[in-house]
Amino acid sequence: MTEELKKFEAKMKKSYDNLCEEFAGIRAGRANPHVLDKIKVDYYGTQTPLQQVGNISVPEARIILIQPWEKSLIKEIEKAINMSDLGINPTSDGSSIRLVFPELNEERRKELAKQIKKYGEEAKVAVRNIRRDANDAVKKMEKAGEMTEDDVKAADKDIQKMTDNMIQEIDKAVEAKTKDIMTV
């Protein structure tokens, strides 16, 4: 049963990792190159991640500089950024693209805090669904005669402990990201 529990624990950890990736994409008034992680550029007919078609740097606290390896890609990169939900207009000087992040106002901070909480709740729901699947797997093993009643109780306790720990980690991540947004 420990092998099964490890599989479910890995799934829960994956939900947490996914939450952390979502948080990396939330811009907090500072320039963070991770906001570009999901943007793909049409590169000779293939959707290619932005990081693979140019150099991305942060020369100042609120500016991201994108220097494409091929000048012909500037228009495609601008188009991809405009089509994304980033909400920033790229400016080009012919050889590079600048993204200037505005200061966050109080209203935007509150919106971002709500979005962070929503992502946290979605991650918790995913973890609880994994717990349900784990509990169902235990019940099936009990019905098949592979586990005793004591083993089932111990497994249920382990599954609940795993779930509680992961939800606690999610809460900590949500709290830290919310604090980060509010103090920028």
Instruction: Quickly state the pLDDT bin for 184 (edges 50, 70, 90).
Output: low
Among 88, 94, 95, 40, residue whose Cα is nearest residue 64: 88
Domains of the chain: 2-24+105-182 (1.10.132.20), 33-100 (3.30.1360.40)
Residue 17 burial (CB count, 10 A) = 11
Q: Tokens representing 51?
A: 């990081």
If you average pLDDT over every residue of the chain, what do you get? 87
Instruction: Quickly state the pLDDT bin for 23 (edges 50, 70, 90).
Output: confident
Give the E-state strand segments of 12-157 in sequence order: 40-43, 46-49, 54-60, 63-68, 91-92, 97-100
| Rounded average pLDDT over 76-83 | 88
Chain segment 93-134, per-residue pLDDT in tens:
888 999 888 777 888 788 888 889 999 999 999 999 999 999
| Rounded average pLDDT over 15-21 | 90
